[in-house]
């Protein structure tokens, strides 16, 4: 006998559920992939921005350190130059002190020191072009002590005389310390001027032989 195949449905049966599931999975995968890529891009952007800021900060710090090192080098050079200058001034002052002419100094002092004042000690100190002298004196009266710096100021060789301490002794005399600037070249000029102005004694030539008749 021959079999009969009867299709009672008006349309053939089609199952779309699997297709929807597959499509949903693909779309979900694409969304996840897109979101992940976006996250990665944002993270890379933020990291790059942070790295740039860090590099800029490091560069500024490096520049600041360079400036500080340069300043320290300049400070060290200034200290070295200052020390060299101080040593030079000390040596120059030492040489000037050794070349100090006591004869010339006391010769000029004799013209200005009051009779009631005596000098107990003298200490010259050379600093660069300045020659400072500190003396310790002993005055019988206050007037003599006060007249001494005034007399020094009248001389070309002495300037800025100042009494910086005084002490009354048991016998009524006054011990004092005084400091003033001394200019040896001016003392030389004053001595030469004094020698030129000094009167020259007349010299009478001696007669040789006896009186002729």
Is residue 84 very low, low, confident or very high in pLDDT (cuts 50, 70, 90)?
A: low
Q: Considering all CA atoms of the chain, what is the largest pairwise distance in Å, rounded to the nearest integer?
A: 217
pLDDT reported for residue 94:
44
- Nearest Cα to 128, choosing from 170, 87, 77, 168? 87
- For the stretch 105-144, pLDDT in tens is 998 999 999 999 999 999 998 876 778 999 999 999 999 9
Rounded to the nearest 5°, which phi and psi values hold at 70?
-65, -45
Provide CB contacts within 8 A for 30, sequence distance 6+.
none
Same domain? 137 vs 178? yes
Strand-pair category, 174-182 with 158-168: antiparallel
What is the Cβ-side half-sphere exposure of residue 178, based on CA atoms within 13 angstroms?
Answer: 28
Among the candidates 84, 99, 114, a domain finishes at: 99
What is the CB-side half-sphere exposure of residue 184 using CA atoms within 13 A? 17
| 117 in a structural domain | yes
User: Residue 159's pLDDT is what?
Assistant: 93
Q: Examine the fold and report which residue of 42, 65, 99 is the final residue of a domain before the chain moves on.
A: 99
Please say which residue of 99, 114, 138 terminates a domain: 99
Q: Is residue 30 part of a domain?
A: yes
Q: Give the residues across from 64 on adjacent strands.
A: none
User: Among all chains, which residue has been given the structure tokens 């400070």?
Assistant: 75
Is pTM beyond 0.95? Reply is no
Q: How far is CA 51 from CA 6, 38, 61, 186, 195, in A?
A: 76, 20, 15, 75, 88
Residue labelled with tokens 């952007």: 45
The parent domain of residue 142 ranges over: 102-196
Give the CATH number, domain containing residue 165. 3.30.70.2830
The domain total for the chain is: 2
pLDDT tens column, 36-80? 888 788 877 777 777 778 788 888 888 888 888 888 777 777 776
């Amino acid at each position: 006998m021959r079999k009969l195949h009867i299709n009672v449905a008006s349309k053939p049966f089609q199952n779309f559920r699997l297709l929807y599931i597959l499509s949903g999975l693909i779309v979900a995968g694409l969304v996840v992939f897109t979101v992940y890529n976006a996250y990665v891009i944002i993270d890379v952007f933020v990291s790059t921005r942070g790295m740039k800021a860090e590099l800029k900060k490091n560069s500024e710090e490096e520049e600041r350190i360079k400036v500080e090192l340069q300043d320290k080098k300049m400070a060290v050079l200034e200290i070295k130059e200052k020390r060299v200058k101080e040593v030079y001034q000390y040596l120059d002052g030492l040489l000037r002190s050794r070349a100090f002419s006591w004869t010339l100094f006391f010769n000029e002092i004799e013209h200005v020191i009051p009779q009631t004042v005596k000098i107990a000690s003298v200490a010259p100190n050379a600093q660069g072009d300045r020659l400072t002298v500190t003396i310790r004196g002993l005055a019988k009266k206050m007037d003599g002590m006060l007249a001494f710096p005034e007399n020094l100021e009248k001389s070309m060789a002495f300037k800025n005389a100042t009494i910086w301490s005084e002490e009354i002794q048991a016998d009524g005399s006054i011990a004092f310390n005084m400091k003033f600037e001394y200019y040896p070249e001016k003392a030389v000029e004053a001595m030469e001027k004094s020698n030129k102005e000094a009167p020259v004694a007349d010299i009478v030539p001696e007669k040789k032989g006896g009186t002729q008749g």
